[in-house]
Amino acid sequence: MKVLVTGGCGFLGSHVCEFYARKGASVISYDNMTKHELARTGFAAAAARNYNWNYLKKLGVKLVKADVRNFKALADYSSGCDYIIHTAAQPAMTISWEDPVLDATTNVMGTFNVLEAARRHKIPVAACATIHIYGNKINEELREAKTRYVRKPAAIDEKYEILQGMLSPLHASKAAGDIYMRTYIDTYKTQAASFRLTGIYGTRQFGGEDHGWVANFAIRSVFGWPLTMFGTGKQVRDIVYAADVCEAFHAFYRTRASGVYNIGGGVKTMISLLDCVDILEELNGARPEVKFAADRYGDLRYFVCDTDKAKKQLGWTPKIMPEEGIRRLLEWIKANKQAFTGKK
Ligand SMILES: NC(=O)c1ccc[n+]([C@@H]2O[C@H](COP(=O)([O-])OP(=O)(O)OC[C@H]3O[C@@H](n4cnc5c(N)ncnc54)[C@H](O)[C@@H]3O)[C@@H](O)[C@H]2O)c1
């Protein structure tokens, strides 16, 4: 089996590359190695950037530095592959406000190019959308709670209308990718799955304030740096561990049940930001210093996926619970401090 992973040197992409390399597949990581987001984290960007590249090299993954906006290169490298998994993206809402051109070209044209390569070569393709495409109207439907959570009674399924309420360029670009996926399924019968992903976390995640909040909190707690909580800390996500998402990609490869899917931890992994700090305190033996700041425009205060469709059609359910996933993440950070500081 030969697999092409766009964004293979990113957080999720590196897990997908590892997952297939360990299955004995021939794996190509196709990544432009941008430092755009890493440069904003305060970590040593070069050390952080090279970490996944070096990790995958040792696993025998073929590393290609190339851009999803370059259709010709993408079509050439994907030729002869059995599966394309598209994780490359401009993933941060903050960056989408500041640089809508980068956001649109990467997320819209990048996803379009991946799909078009898949269509021409008749390769099944799975791509990463995000639960953000449902829009921020959910915020208006919340009941403020005196407990640790903002509460909305039900988990949200794929029938929930997308793009409701206030929109950012990220909503538009990720939704466009999701709509193109559906379009290629309908028009060209491309075997394709668009995963509407909730907050993902795991090892090899260089999370900062723009993107990857669980890792951002975990990294800061290990280094003793204060972390900033935007809003009350009662925001809720059904976080999902990266290895579980890899299993979901493989479930689509096995079933070829094309469509859009919510991929998240579901109700049982729902945690608030404050819960996450509690878990970090318990696992680290010290409570991280927390600073509160104003709510950020565009932040979604609640999201819990209904993952029934993925269970029924892909036979997939998430397995790793937050305490276990965060424990693995902390162990990795502690063993790899130089990847954040650049110092031996
Ligand atoms: N991490 C999360 O919590 C989360 C949540 C919802 C959805 N997603 C989606 O999952 C996917 C993976 O996210 P991630 O957290 O691993 O992000 P990431 O930033 O760690 O990885 C993305 C990778 O894509 C690469 N890339 C960016 N632009 C590129 C381009 N033009 N050409 C080639 N490569 C390019 C980057 O260099 C990076 O290595 C994204 O589509 C993201 O929107 C992530």
Q: Report which ligand 1 atom has the smallest distance to the Cα of 105.
A: 31
Is there an atom of ligand 1 within 6 Å of 238 CB? no
Do residues 281 and 216 make contact, with C-beta atoms less than 8 angstroms apart? no
What pLDDT was estimated at residue 152? 76
Is there an atom of ligand 1 within 6 Å of 200 CB? yes
What is d(CA 262, CA 116) in angstroms, rounded to the nearest whole number? Answer: 23
Q: Which residue(s) pair with 240 in the sheet? A: 200
Is there an atom of ligand 1 within 6 Å of 197 CB? yes
Query: Which residue's alpha carbon is nearest to atom 37 within ligand 1?
Result: 33
What is d(CA 199, CA 325) in angstroms, rounded to the nearest whole number? Answer: 13
CA-nearest of 201, 217, 185 to 290 is: 217
What is d(CA 290, CA 277) in angstroms, rounded to the nearest whole number? Answer: 9
Do residues 30 and 8 make contact, with C-beta atoms less than 8 angstroms apart? yes
Burial class of residue 60 (count of CB atoms within 10 Å of its CB; 0-12, 13-18, 19+): exposed
Query: 198 C-alpha to center of ligand 1: Å?
Result: 13
What is d(CA 240, CA 263) in angstroms, rounded to the nearest whole number? Answer: 8
Question: What are the extents of the domains in the chain?
Answer: 2-341
Query: Which residue's alpha carbon is nearest to atom 19 within ligand 1?
Result: 10
- pLDDT tens, position by position, for the chain (344 residues)? 999 999 999 999 999 999 999 999 999 999 999 988 888 888 888 888 999 999 999 999 999 999 999 999 999 999 999 999 999 999 999 999 999 999 999 999 999 999 999 999 999 999 999 999 999 888 888 877 677 888 776 899 999 999 999 899 999 999 999 999 999 999 999 999 999 999 999 999 999 988 999 999 999 999 999 999 999 999 999 999 999 999 999 999 999 999 999 999 999 999 999 999 999 999 999 999 999 999 888 888 999 999 999 999 999 999 999 999 999 999 999 999 999 998 87
What contacts 261, CB < 8 A, 6 or more positions away?
158, 193, 194, 195, 196, 248, 252, 307, 309, 310, 313, 314
Ligand 1 pocket test target in 168, 200, 273 with most atoms within 8 Å of CB: 200
What contacts 145, CB < 8 A, 6 or more positions away?
151, 234
Domain covering 2-341 in this structure, CATH number? 3.40.50.720
Query: 109 C-alpha to center of ligand 1: Å?
Result: 14
Is there an atom of ligand 1 within 6 Å of 11 CB? yes
Length of the chain: 344
Is there an atom of ligand 1 within 6 Å of 128 CB? yes
Quote the tokens at residue 125.
């393709």
What is d(CA 33, CA 277) in angstroms, rounded to the nearest whole number? Answer: 31
pTM: 0.97
Q: What is the dihedral of CA 155, 265, 323, 250, to 10 degrees?
A: 170
Is there an atom of ligand 1 within 6 Å of 110 CB? yes
What pLDDT was estimated at residue 153? 67
